[in-house]
C-alpha cells in the first residue's frame, strides 16, 4: 500500500488554533489569546501538514522582515512521529525563511537536531513558576501602558527585538484577560510588562526594564494583579543574573528550560534589561 503524501499549506487563522491546542497537549501552556496574537505577526508564517483530511504536523516560521525570523510550534502528532513527516514540514518552513537569521526556543533534548540545520546555541531561558498575589507597590510611576501613545511603547521596544513588529505588539499589549503596565523614570518610559491568562495560571512576558529595581516594581505590580491562588510564570534568560535573582527572591521554582538558538550571529539585544521573554513561540 502506497504511503499517503503529506500536503503542506499555509494555515488559515482558524488553523492556528490547532497548533496552539497541540502545544497545550505538549505541556507548553499557551495563553488564551495566543492564536489571534501570533497570527498578527505574519499571516503567512504558519504551516500545517495534512495526510488526506487529517492534520498531523505544524510549524510556525514567522518572518518579521527579510532579515529576521522566529521558528516555533514544531509539532508532529505523536502517532505520526518517526516517519519523516516532521522533516518535510521543517524543510518547507526553512525554505520560506531563506537568508533570514532564524531564532528558536527549542527543548533541550532537540538541540543536536537543530544544530544539524545550522542553529547555534546562544543561551538558555528558564521558566520559573510561583504564586500570584501580593501587595501592589506604592509607586506613582507605574502606569497603565494604554495611557501612553503607541509610538512611545514601540520606540521603547525597538532595542529589545531585531525587527519591527507593530501589529503584533499592538495586539499583545491590548489582549483580553491581560494587564499591561509601564514604569516611568523622570517622566519617560523605562520599562513595561504584560501578564496574560494561560491555560493554567498567568504568564508575565515581556518584562523589560532599564534597571533591576524598576523590573522588580513592575514584577510586583503584575504579580499583584492576579489572585494569590493562581500560578504565575516568568521566562528568564539565564545570562541575566539580576533577572534570575528576581525570580528566586520571590520563591519561584524552575519548571522548564529552552535553548535559544540562531542560524546567524546573535542579535545585539540588551539582555541585561530583559527580565522576562515575550514568547517561546515567536520571540
CA torsion 208→210→215→217, rounded to 10°?
A: -130
Helices (H), 103-164: 111-116, 150-157
Spatial separation of the C-alpha atoms in residues 44 and 41, rounded to whole Å: 9
CATH architecture of 7-103: 3-Layer(aba) Sandwich (3.40)
Q: Do 195 and 204 touch, CB atoms closer than 8 A?
A: yes
Spatial separation of the C-alpha atoms in residues 78 and 106, rounded to whole Å: 18
- How many C-beta atoms surround the C-beta of residue 17 within 10 A? 16
Q: List the beta bridge partners of residue 9.
A: 48
Which of 32, 102, 92 is CA-nearest to residue 62? 102
- What pLDDT does 3 receive? 60
All three cell numbers of 174: 491590548
CATH code of 127-276, in short, is: 3.40.630.90
- How many C-beta atoms surround the C-beta of residue 133 within 10 A? 13
Spatial separation of the C-alpha atoms in residues 199 and 87, rounded to whole Å: 29
Q: What are the pLDDT tens digits along the chain (283 aa)?
A: 346 799 999 999 999 999 999 999 999 999 999 999 999 999 999 999 999 999 999 999 999 999 999 999 999 999 999 999 999 999 999 999 999 999 999 988 889 999 999 999 999 999 999 999 999 999 999 999 999 999 999 999 999 999 999 999 999 999 999 999 999 999 999 999 999 999 999 999 999 999 999 999 999 999 999 999 999 999 999 999 999 999 999 999 999 999 999 999 999 999 999 999 999 999 9
SS3 155: helix
Cell 532537540 belongs to which residue? 110
For every residue of 101-115, DSSP letters joined together read: EEEEEEEGGGHHHHH
Spatial separation of the C-alpha atoms in residues 44 and 61, rounded to whole Å: 8
Residue 120 CA, distance from chain mean position: 19
Spatial separation of the C-alpha atoms in residues 203 and 278, rounded to whole Å: 9
- What pLDDT does 132 receive? 97
- What pLDDT does 108 receive? 87
Predicted TM-score (pTM) of this structure: 0.95
- How many C-beta atoms surround the C-beta of residue 155 within 10 A? 11
Decide whether 7-103 matches 127-276 in CATH topology: yes
CA distances from 228 to 114, 131, 231, 280 (A): 39, 6, 8, 25
Q: For the chain, which residues make up each domain, given as ranges? A: 7-103, 127-276
Amino acid at each position: 500500500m502506497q504511503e499517503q503524501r503529506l500536503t503542506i499549506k499555509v494555515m488559515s487563522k482558524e488553523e492556528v488554533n490547532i497548533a496552539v491546542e497541540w502545544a497545550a497537549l505538549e505541556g507548553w501552556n499557551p495563553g488564551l489569546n495566543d492564536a489571534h496574537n501570533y497570527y498578527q505577526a505574519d499571516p503567512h508564517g504558519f504551516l500545517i501538514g495534512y495526510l488526506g483530511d487529517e492534520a498531523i504536523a505544524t510549524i510556525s516560521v514567522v518572518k518579521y522582515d527579510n532579515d529576521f525570523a522566529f521558528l516555533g510550534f514544531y509539532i508532529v502528532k505523536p502517532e505520526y512521529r518517526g516517519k519523516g513527516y516532521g522533516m518535510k514540514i521543517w524543510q518547507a518552513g526553512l525554505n520560506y525563511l531563506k537568508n533570514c537569521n532564524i531564532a528558536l526556543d527549542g527543548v533541550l533534548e532537540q538541540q543536536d537536531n537543530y544544530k544539524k540545520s545550522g542553529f547555534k546555541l546562544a543561551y538558555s531561558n528558564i521558566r520559573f513558576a510561583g504564586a500570584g498575589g501580593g501587595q501592589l507597590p506604592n509607586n506613582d510611576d507605574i502606569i497603565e501602558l494604554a495611557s501612553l501613545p503607541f509610538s512611545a511603547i514601540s520606540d521603547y521596544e525597538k532595542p529589545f527585538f531585531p525587527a519591527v513588529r507593530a501589529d503584533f505588539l499592538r495586539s499583545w499589549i491590548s489582549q483580553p484577560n491581560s494587564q499591561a503596565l509601564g514604569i516611568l523614570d523622570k517622566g519617560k518610559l523605562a520599562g513595561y510588562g504584560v501578564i496574560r491568562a494561560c491555560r493554567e495560571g498567568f504568564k508575565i512576558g515581556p518584562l523589560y526594564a532599564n534597571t533591576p529595581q524598576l523590573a522588580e516594581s513592575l514584577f510586583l505590580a503584575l504579580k499583584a494583579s492576579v489572585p494569590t491562588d493562581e500560578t504565575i510564570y516568568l521566562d528568564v534568560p539565564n545570562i541575566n543574573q539580576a533577572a534570575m535573582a528576581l525570580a528566586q527572591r520571590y520563591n519561584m521554582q524552575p519548571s522548564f528550560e529552552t535553548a535559544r538558538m540562531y542560524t546567524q550571529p546573535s542579535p545585539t539585544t540588551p539582555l541585561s534589561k530583559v527580565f522576562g521573554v515575550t514568547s517561546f513561540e515567536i520571540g
